[in-house]
Amino acid sequence: MIDSKQKLATLKRKKRPKLKYPEKFQAFLLLIVFVLLILFFNISGIITQDVEFSKEENRSLAQKPSLSVSDLLDGSYSKNLDSYFSDQFYLRNSWIRLKVNLDLLLGKQESNGVYIGKDNYLMEIPVTPDSEWLNKNLKAIDDFAKRHQDKRVVMSVIPNSAYILSEKAPLNANVRNQAQDEKMIADHLKHNLAFIEVSEVLKQHSDENIFYKTDHHWTSLGAKYVFEVLANSLGIDNPITDYKIFTVSDSFSGSMASKSGYLKSVDEIQIMIPKTSNYSEIDLDTFVVKFPENRETCSLYSSEALKAKDQYTVFLGGNYSRVDIQTLNDNGHVLLLIKDSYANCFVQFLTPYYEKIIMIDPRYYYDEIEQAISKEQITDILFLYNMNTFLEDRSLADVLTVD
Amino acid sequence: MNITGIFFIFIFLPITLISYYLVPIKTKNSILLLISLIFYSWGNPNYLIVLVLSVLFNYFIALEMQQYLSENNNRKLKSVLIFGLLFNVLVLGLFKYYGFFLDNINKLFRIDLSVQELPLPLGISFFTFSVISYLIDIYRKKSPAQRNLISFALYVSFFPKVISGPIMQYTDFSKQLSVHRFDYEFVGHGLKLYIQGLAKKILLADSFSILYQDLNTLPASEKSILSSWLALFAFTLQIFFDFSGYSEMAIGLAKMLGFNLPQNFNYPYVSRSATEFWRRWHMTLGSWFREYVYIPLGGNRVGILKHIRNIMLVWLLTGIWHGAAWNYIFWGLYYGLILLLEKYFYGNLLKRNVIISRVYTIIIVMLGWLIFASSSISAITISLQSMFGIGGVIFANKTTFYYLQSYALQIILGCLGVTPLFNKLQQNILQKRNRRTIIFSVLIYLALFVFSLAYLVNSTYQSFLYVAF
């Protein structure tokens, strides 16, 4: 038995004589492989049509640059050609996935400024504040609150998922302590407005889906928990606790997935509708929502958004300089909501208690805020921000300051 | 043009190889010159004027020198050489050091001459050194002047080496100007070197560059002793894999066209002294300075004082050559000093113990890179303070471990990559003369190429978030 095996082995060895010129063999093989690769990718590139838009990256891809003397002379033609070849490279998305997977294999725990956490959680990395702008904003908010002491002024800043879900953050990642940031902001502002800290309550629910895995926003559930904490300060006595929950998407691949290129999971999006006395299963479109340029809808939700890339825009269609929401209530309460995109999914919890809600996003707002406040007879003001956006904001101070 | 770009690999290189090997023998050098000029002017055609003027000027200067050589007119020969050298040095100085020079004049005399920044023509430091060596070699009768303008222009602008070297002496190049026929072994071997260099640059150097940037920009509160050393180590690895990777790609590309370029790196980080390090690091620059500055000054066959002068001068120039800034000058002088110390004090001690001499060398080299990479003296002191724990810096923290675990594999690969290990493995595979192991090695090269490509395609990856956060 052993003999025959040995014989077989020697036979095999005899069949394959040693190479005379190993260098030549290697060079030959390499050359063949390389030529095939070049041919394959060039031919595939020629026969497949150029892609105009990348859904994964949410941007238009570079197109074949047109040749002009001026572009050739200032070097922009060659630059454009380089991005064209990279953007339109055959199977681009697979190459990007390969790169992200190689990075993970090598032990990287972040990609393009996104933490790749446990259980496929993708998290925005908490930022270090730009102290000059932060102090400007804090002072502007404080002055603003002083000017409006006749009104109810409330503020909350929502920490990011990397801090709240710290046990999901990458191993040894030095996640900024956003509760300290929150405390610092509270200390600055608590004298003239009601600053409500929310880190603790969100931490208590950190085992629930209060943040999306693939997006930098919080979910309706997270917003609900914060609403429950804020209700009292907003003067809402008997907040509704009964909600009708609809899952409107199970294919949400959010901003963090795009930014990191890490596409291993998708999220569900839920909307939560408070069961008010006039709540009806059939008719949910009981609002007048006014957008800039005289566009009007009658729902807080945009169903077209679910077909688009950024499905989070299902909440009020995304960010606009100003959105006015007229409800069926007649109670004299008018809320001014000064906000970033975190507030978009928070509004659904506020509508039962106000006659009108005016949302202003200072990043796109260029009108006089004080005029709006007196014209609309604002009674309540809520600042609602995400911590990262707030710490990096450069537009709040300008909008709030009166010259 | 960037030799690590997708356009270069998939379009420019194949077109170059096909046209070069298809055209008739007599036109091969002209085609190669044309390709080289297109390559050079790709990103910014304005630079081309400087290159072309340099080629023409030196071509005629050399012919003139050849004339005086044949007439045995030494006086005129020398004055033409000096004129030629001065012109080349002035052009280099004008583009590279003019801004730096005026800056320092302004600071010194507290005046305010306006500095008009001149764009630095690509590779000017490299091709200027090439033509200087050419003129001196003619003067020394090492080789006759090239009468064929195309051949000479090709020597200066040969695209694999024009931007970052290796610096090639004219005599070595001229031997290869007689035309090459297609030899698949040469092309395949060149390809192998190119892929090796590409992988070094894309998979290692670029990654170490990110690590260095990240660690270097950590806020003071997050720095630790270990992370400061890691930052410097990352830079040490980055600059080696970047530069030696580029040289390897250049050598590989030249080989695909049938040219041999000189070796530029010979495992410098396993050296046993700084003196040895400089025989293994950027070898073509070192030998240029030895040949055209150090030895003409008398080298070490002079008295001690003159030798010290020679060494310090050569290293001052080496520093200045690397860039118009004080950190490069200090870096050059630092090596001059270390080399003198090794020569006159402890050089022999280093020969006694392998481990001590290697550790000594790598520390000297890393401190050198610290000077090289720092923009000011205060930046150097800040780095040194955190490296040696002065001012209450802790040994290691969470952030240190975060970066260590994120880069551990690449750092290990990098440490192995600075030794001859992979090259020995290569040799072993070839010596086995076994088909399967060779096929296996080709698959590894394929993987390295594909992995590098993934990073190249990814370089334009960016995602535009919906109008906001």
List chain B residues with CB under 8 Å of A318: 466-467
Nearest CA in chain A to B42: A78
Active-site residue (options: B180, B189, B307, B322): B322
- Within an 8 Å CB–CB cutoff, is residue A288 touching chain B? no
- Nearest Cα of chain B lies from the Cα of A242 at a distance, in angstroms, of 30
The amino acid sitting at A177 is: N
- Within an 8 Å CB–CB cutoff, is residue A107 touching chain B? yes
What's the pLDDT at A277? 75
CB A125 within 8 A of CB A166: no
Distance CA B211, CA B205 (A): 10
Nearest CA in chain B to A340: B469
- Nearest Cα of chain B lies from the Cα of A239 at a distance, in angstroms, of 29
Distance CA A231, CA B343 (A): 80
Q: Is the pLDDT of residue A172 over 80?
A: yes
What's the pLDDT at A7? 63
What's the pLDDT at B466? 44
* Interface contact flag, B469 A102, Cβ < 8 Å: no
Q: Which of A13, A15, A29, A395 to mutate to test the interface with B (most CBs of B within 10 A)?
A: A29
* Interface contact flag, B405 A107, Cβ < 8 Å: yes
Distances (CA, A) of A125 to A64, A103, A226, B90, B245: 35, 18, 22, 50, 33
CB B268 within 8 A of CB B240: yes
User: Which of A59, A89, A340 lies nearest to residue B464, judging by beta carbons?
Assistant: A59
Write out pLDDT tens, residues A19-52.
Answer: 888 899 999 999 999 999 999 999 999 999 999 9
- Within an 8 Å CB–CB cutoff, is residue A180 touching chain B? no
- Within an 8 Å CB–CB cutoff, is residue A12 touching chain B? no
Write out pLDDT tens, residues A230-261.
Answer: 999 999 999 999 999 999 999 999 999 989 99
CB A354 within 8 A of CB A334: yes
Instruction: Indicate the SS3 state at residue A284.
Output: coil
| Rounded-to-10 torsion of CA B60, B64, B70, B72 | -150
User: Which of A27, A33, A74 lies nearest to residue B446, judging by beta carbons?
Assistant: A33
Nearest CA in chain A to B13: A38
Structure confidence at residue A16 as a pLDDT band (50, 70, 90) = low
- Nearest Cα of chain B lies from the Cα of A148 at a distance, in angstroms, of 28
Q: Which of A12, A40, A99, A311 to mutate to test the interface with B (most CBs of B within 10 A)?
A: A99
Residues in chain B, total: 469
Nearest CA in chain A to B399: A174
- Nearest Cα of chain A lies from the Cα of B107 at a distance, in angstroms, of 31
Instruction: Give residues 367 to 386 of A whose Cβ lies within 8 Å of B.
Output: 386
- Within an 8 Å CB–CB cutoff, is residue A258 touching chain B? yes
Q: Is the pLDDT of residue A13 over 60?
A: no
List chain A residues with CB under 8 Å of B406: 106-110
* Interface contact flag, A258 B6, Cβ < 8 Å: no
List chain B residues with CB under 8 Å of A390: none
* Interface contact flag, A75 B43, Cβ < 8 Å: yes
* Interface contact flag, A26 B441, Cβ < 8 Å: yes
Distances (CA, A) of A391 to A131, A133, A175, A185, B347: 8, 8, 15, 10, 56
Write out pLDDT tens, residues A105-153.
Answer: 999 999 988 999 999 999 999 999 989 999 999 999 999 999 999 999 9
Instruction: Give residues 34 to 53 of A whose Cβ lies within 8 Å of B.
Output: 34, 37-38, 41-42
User: Which of B7, B191, B458 lies nearest to residue A95, judging by beta carbons?
Assistant: B458
Distance CA B292, CA B290 (A): 6
- The answer to whether B322 is a known catalytic residue is yes
List chain A residues with CB under 8 Å of B189: 23, 27
User: Which of A23, A73, A173 lies nearest to residue B185, judging by beta carbons?
Assistant: A23
CB B324 within 8 A of CB B97: yes
User: Which of A92, A318, A340 lies nearest to residue B457, judging by beta carbons?
Assistant: A92
pLDDT, averaged across chain A: 92
- Nearest Cα of chain B lies from the Cα of A103 at a distance, in angstroms, of 9
User: Which of A16, A27, A124 lies nearest to residue B185, judging by beta carbons?
Assistant: A27
List chain A residues with CB under 8 Å of B435: 16, 19, 25
- Nearest Cα of chain A lies from the Cα of B185 at a distance, in angstroms, of 5
Distance CA A355, CA A329 (A): 5
- Evaluate the CA torsion angle B6, B167, B251, B271 in order and state its sign: negative
- Nearest Cα of chain A lies from the Cα of B46 at a distance, in angstroms, of 7
* Interface contact flag, B457 A34, Cβ < 8 Å: no
- Within an 8 Å CB–CB cutoff, is residue A82 touching chain B? yes
User: Which of A22, A87, A318 lies nearest to residue B430, judging by beta carbons?
Assistant: A22
- Nearest Cα of chain B lies from the Cα of A310 at a distance, in angstroms, of 7
* Interface contact flag, B466 A363, Cβ < 8 Å: no
* Interface contact flag, A388 B192, Cβ < 8 Å: no
Distance CA B114, CA B28 (A): 47
Domain boundaries in chain B? 6-182, 186-272+351-417
* Interface contact flag, A31 B11, Cβ < 8 Å: no
List chain B residues with CB under 8 Å of A30: 188, 191-192, 195, 442, 445
* Interface contact flag, A27 B192, Cβ < 8 Å: yes
Instruction: Give residues 307 to 346 of A whose Cβ lies within 8 Å of B.
Output: 309-310, 312-313, 318-319, 340-341
- Nearest Cα of chain A lies from the Cα of B64 at a distance, in angstroms, of 35
Spell out the SS3 assignment of chain B: CCCCCHHHHHHHHHHHHHHHHHCCHHHHHHHHHHHHHHHHHCCCCCHHHHHHHHHHHHHHHHHHHHHHHHCCCHHHHHHHHHHHHHHHHHHHHHHHHHHHHHHHHHHHHCCCCCCCCCCCCCCHHHHHHHHHHHHHHHHCCCCCCCCCHHHHHHHHHCHHHHCCCCCCCHHHHHCCCCCCCCCHHHHHHHHHHHHHHHHHHHHHHHHHHHHHHHHHCCCHHHCCHHHHHHHHHHHHHHHHHHHHHHHHHHHHHHHHCCCCCCCCCCCHHHCCCHHHHHHHCCHHHHHHHHHHHHCCCCCCCCCHHHHHHHHHHHHHHHHHHHCCCHHHHHHHHHHHHHHHHHHHHHHHHHCCCHHHHHHHHHHHHHHHHHHHHCCCHHHHHHHHHHHCCCCCCCCCCHHHHHHHHHHHHHHHHHHHHCCCHHHHHHHHHHHHCCHHHHHHHHHHHHHHHHHHHHHHHHCCCCCCCCCCC
What's the pLDDT at A58? 75
List chain A residues with CB under 8 Å of B442: 26, 29-30, 33
What are B269's two structure tokens? 């980080």
* Interface contact flag, B442 A33, Cβ < 8 Å: yes
- Nearest Cα of chain A lies from the Cα of B348 at a distance, in angstroms, of 41
Residue by residue, pLDDT tens for chain B (469 residues) are 889 999 999 999 999 999 999 999 889 999 999 999 999 998 888 889 999 999 999 999 999 999 999 999 999 999 999 999 999 999 999 988 888 888 888 888 887 777 666 778 899 999 999 999 999 999 999 999 999 999 999 999 999 999 998 999 998 999 898 867 889 999 999 999 999 999 999 999 999 999 999 999 898 888 999 999 999 999 999 999 999 999 999 999 999 999 999 999 999 999 999 999 999 999 999 999 999 999 999 988 999 999 999 999 999 999 999 988 899 999 999 999 999 999 999 988 998 999 999 999 999 999 999 999 998 889 999 999 999 988 888 999 999 999 999 999 999 999 999 999 999 999 999 988 889 999 999 999 999 999 999 999 998 877 655 433 3
* Interface contact flag, A82 B2, Cβ < 8 Å: yes
Residue in this structure with the two tokens 């090997």, named with its chain if needed: B21
